[in-house]
Amino acid sequence: MNLLKPYLIIIRSLLFILFDSIALWAAKVPKHNQQKLILLIRQDRIGDFILWLDTAKEYRKYYPPENYKIILIGNAIWSDLAKELPFWDEVLPVNVKAFKSLSRYRWNILRKVRNFGAKIAIQPTYSREFYHGDSLIRASNASKKVSSAGNMSNRDQLKSILADRWHTELIPSSPEQLSELERNAEFFSGFIKKKYLPSYPELELSGDCKIQELKCKSFYILSLGANKKYREWPYKYYAKIAQKIHKKTGWLGLICGAENEFYLGEHIKKLCDAPLQNYTGQTTLSELTCLLAKSQILISNETGTAHIANAVGTPTVCILGGGHFGRFVPYPELSGKINNLKVVYYKMPCYGCDWKCVYHIKDEDPAPCISNISVDAVWNEVKILL
């Protein structure tokens, strides 16, 4: 089976290209658009989107609304939040799981993107994805199609050759290790042909949390989950942190996260006497953002929640493993800028493994770089921020 895998990947790629070609061939020829239309394409996760906000706002300045219309083609998991921001005129949400299939859904999205009749399509993502961002760039049929040359270690050579040909320009990326904030600034600098210095992302929302009982209470937030089990700090450790925070402050603790993490919240409630309310799966992303803005502090794994909290100005302690150390967090030190996100980590020689752990990890267990982070190490950072 392993011997056949490279051939199966090639066949799958060619099937998608054929499917997309038929869908785009059958699309209507877009009408002439008097207002120049710009497509911004981002299909990655919540944290990537939040980190991009520092340069995302600059595209609106570069393409002012009196002359240009900007449509953001975004990941559906964060598109509702994106719709509340003033940096674009419209947001097209894409369910990335449904889109990565030979389906009517993919067919319709591709045709809709083609029918926009965009003049310029921009994909600022450093690690591009063949079936998502690159395919959407191709679908745009824009006269100017720009992406990052980026890091293509997540794909085979055939995909790189094909996808690169769908662009009119690839912005070069530095071979040195840079954080995602610096990568975004690097891309924007290359795009406008002028140096742009990165800043920490900032996020302001006008919406309300809609959780009445919290309006007059001081509270903190725990975010227990991660996109993979081996990246989760043990929930029993979070229970000990909750005990310590309550003993010192008397605050209520909220447990927030995705719907499939609800059981983690129930586990931790049984483990400690500190007052906790389980809100996992019960808030929209906008409501979670509002809660984070009102929270006294967040303690979190390395997830999008940590980036949101920092962007709204909430002191944050991020429990960090070594897989992508330095790419997303820790944030780089930026002169004259305030960084609210503090990290706790256990340094190991295997850091930078891209989460291809060299150790054998049992199902449901964290990687050693996570499990070796002690409660005392996290508490030492938390109590300073309290």
Let me know if residue 1 belongs to a domain.
Answer: no
Q: Kindly state the average pLDDT of the residues 314-336.
A: 95
Print the domain residue range for 167. 17-192
CA distance 152 to 128: 7
Tell me the two tokens of residue 217: 């209470």
The number of distinct structural domains making up the chain is 2
Cβ contact 73:44 at 8 Å: no
Query: What is the band of 47 on the pLDDT scale with cuts at 50, 70, 90?
Result: very high
Residues 145 and 229 both lie in one domain? no
pTM of the model: 0.93
Let me know if residue 7 belongs to a domain.
Answer: no
CA distance 325 to 359: 17
Q: What is the CATH number of the domain that holds 293?
A: 3.40.50.2000
Q: What is the sign of the dihedral through the CA atoms of 228, 230, 236 and 241? A: negative
Place of tokens 């953002």: 289
Task: Render pLDDT for 259-271 as a digit per residue (tens, 0 to 9).
Answer: 888 988 899 999 9
Least confident stretch, 49-58, 133-142, 231-240, 259-268:
259-268
Residues 169 and 252 both lie in one domain? no
Task: Render pLDDT for 114-148 as a digit per residue (tens, 0 to 9).
Answer: 999 999 999 999 999 999 999 999 999 999 999 99
Let me know if residue 204 belongs to a domain.
Answer: no
DSSP state of 240: H
CA distance 287 to 294: 11
Residues 178 and 237 both lie in one domain? no
Q: What pLDDT sits at residue 335?
A: 86
Q: Of 88, 110, 80, whose CA–CA distance to 20 is shortest?
A: 110
Residues 98 and 221 both lie in one domain? no
Other CB atoms within 10 A of residue 30 CB = 13
Q: Kindly state the average pLDDT of the residues 54-82.
A: 97
Residues 166 and 222 both lie in one domain? no
